[in-house]
Amino acid sequence: MSGVTFDEVTKRFGDTTAVENMSLEVADGEFMVLLGPSGCGKSTALRMIAGLEEVSDGMLSIGNRVVNNIPPRERDIAMVFQSYALYPHMSVRKNIESPLVANRANRLPAGERSERIDEAAEVLGLTDYLDRKPGELSGGQRQRVALARAIVRRPEVFLMDEPLSNLDAKLRTQTRLELVELHRRLRTTFVYVTHDQVEAMTMADRIAIINDGHVQQVGRPQEVYDRPANLFVARFIGSPPMNTISGTVGTSGTGGNVATEAGVVAVAELSGSRAGDEVVLGVRPEYLKPRDPSKDDPGAGGLRARVENIEMLGHERHLLTRVGNEVMVARLDPALPPPSIGDEVVLEADAANVYLFDPSTTERLGSGTSTPTATVVADG
């Protein structure tokens, strides 16, 4: 087994730079998810590992070997795509076997091939389907055949490009669990590409968040959620996304406030900013609570908001509000009586869970700022 290292890797297609100066170390045996919006360069990064795209600049290694000039078939990788492209006329068994017989010159003996097929089928729950044709399987089963076909080779690195996108929601959730379990059993390095932050959060050991060809942050799921490096990560991870509004820092030192067009918000820690600084204030929906302003004492802080819509999801309620020029969402306990559409409310932010960002660099200000201590996990 081995890890994968991008060392300042750039990929250009003519005038388009798909991946720029990417440095990323995927550890041996790690489940790394490359997460980002469509067109950010995820597939290109994965295809460079596979050898399907040439590296324009920088160095790409699998294990200790620089692979820039190594052809795909000499790289010990297996790749699974969104469209699983099975051979329709061949049985499941033959499909799974296909990579083992592709190279006539160094085929495994039939006995060993058969052992490997049985093992892969067992791991993926396909034992009873080996004699069927792909057309006689459900979408989820077909995707599992594609996975079995990948693992039968016992590669050093698995590459997966949005492999669950064609499955319906229920099957996607189930297959997510199966992939995590598969990784736990195989302990092989996985590099998994998705635009779906829920997939990334639920499966990854670590997530590399990519935007516009650049790595924004690399960290464990809870880490990137609690301590986003910048506004892009803050808004991309979490659903509904983090609310943001511009403001000016009112007091310096630890503890203070930020004045916005819709009111003043108390902030537990202002490290990294000073009185008078322009900032972008961020609060996740779970840390915003609506208050009835008619019962207010006039000095109390909060954001004046108007309720525009209420979405009931069963386990939670989303309050969609207008705050100045922004739309802000509060996530509410469905057991509590909600305000009504059209109501004027004050949104109170939990001071310990307010984030501040530099509006020019978009970087998050402060170090431990806003990280709920209970969820911080030590590195390593």
| Shortest Å, Cβ 213 to ligand ADP | 7
Residue with Cβ nearer Mg ion (172 or 364): 172
CB 90 within 8 A of CB 96: no
Residues 321-360, one symbol each (x = binds ligand ADP by CB under 6 A, - = not), give ----------------------------------------
**Minimum distance of Mg ion from residue 161's CB (angstroms):** 6
Q: Considering the rule CB under 6 A, would residue 16 count as an interface residue with ligand ADP?
A: yes
**Least spacing, CB of residue 314 vs ligand ADP, in Å:** 32
Q: Which does 58 bind (CB under 5 to 8 A by kind): ligand ADP, Mg ion, none?
A: none
Q: Is 162 left (phi over 0), alpha (psi -120 to 50) or beta?
A: left
Would you count residue 44 as binding Mg ion (CB under 5 A)?
A: no
* Number of chain positions touching ligand ADP (CB under 6 A): 11
Query: What is the sign of the dihedral through the CA atoms of 174, 175, 176 and 177?
Result: positive
Closest CA to 5 of 41, 69, 48: 48
# of chain residues touching Mg ion (CB under 5 A): 1
Where is 346: in which H helix or E strand?
A: strand 344-349
Strand order of the β-sheet with 214-219 is 77-80, 157-161, 189-194, 31-35, 206-211, 214-219
φ, ψ (nearest 5 deg) of residue 239: -145, 120
Site for ligand ADP in 38-67 (CB under 6 A): 38-44
Name the residue nearer to ligand ADP (CB basis): 36 or 163.
36
The reply to whether 197 sits near ligand ADP by the rule CB under 6 A is no
Q: Which stretch binds ligand ADP (CB under 6 A): 33-41, 86-94, 258-266, 364-372?
A: 33-41
- In this chain, which residue has its C-beta nearest to Mg ion? 43
Phi, psi of 326 (to 5 degrees): -105, 155
CB of 311 to Mg ion, least distance (A): 30
Alpha-carbon separation of residue 110 from 10, 44, 97, 152, 162 (angstroms): 42, 36, 10, 13, 33
Pick between residue 218 and residue 280 the one whose CB is nearest to ligand ADP.
Answer: 218
The residue among 36 and 247 lying less far from Mg ion, judged by its C-beta, is 36
User: Is the Cβ–Cβ distance between 194 and 203 less than 8 Å?
Assistant: no
Q: Look-up: residue for tokens 């506004």?
A: 231
Exposed, middle or buried by CB within 10 Å (0-12, 13-18, 19+), for 243?
Answer: buried
Q: Which of 71, 37, 50 is nearest to 162 (CA)?
A: 37
* Nearer of residues 97 and 199 to ligand ADP, judged by Cβ: 199
To the nearest whole angstrom, how small is the minimum distance from the Cβ of residue 177 to ligand ADP?
Answer: 24
- Which of 43, 244, 353, 369 lies at the binding interface for Mg ion (CB under 5 A)? 43
Stretch that binds Mg ion, among 10-18, 39-47, 92-100, 177-185 (CB under 5 A): 39-47
Which one of 36-44, 74-82, 331-339, 341-349 is the stretch in contact with ligand ADP (CB under 6 A)? Answer: 36-44
Residue 24 Cβ vs ligand ADP, minimum distance, rounded to whole Å: 14
Helix (H) / strand (E) element for 344: namely: strand 344-349
d(CA 270, CA 366): 7
d(CA 220, CA 360) in angstroms, rounded, equals 26
What is the enclosing helix (H) or strand (E) of 207? strand 206-211
Q: Of these, 2, 6, 9, 18, which contacts ligand ADP (CB under 6 A)?
A: 18
* Contact track, ligand ADP, 92-121, x by CB under 6 A: ------------------------------
Residues at the contact surface with Mg ion, assessed by CB under 5 A: 43
Residues at the contact surface with ligand ADP, assessed by CB under 6 A: 13, 16, 18, 36, 38-44
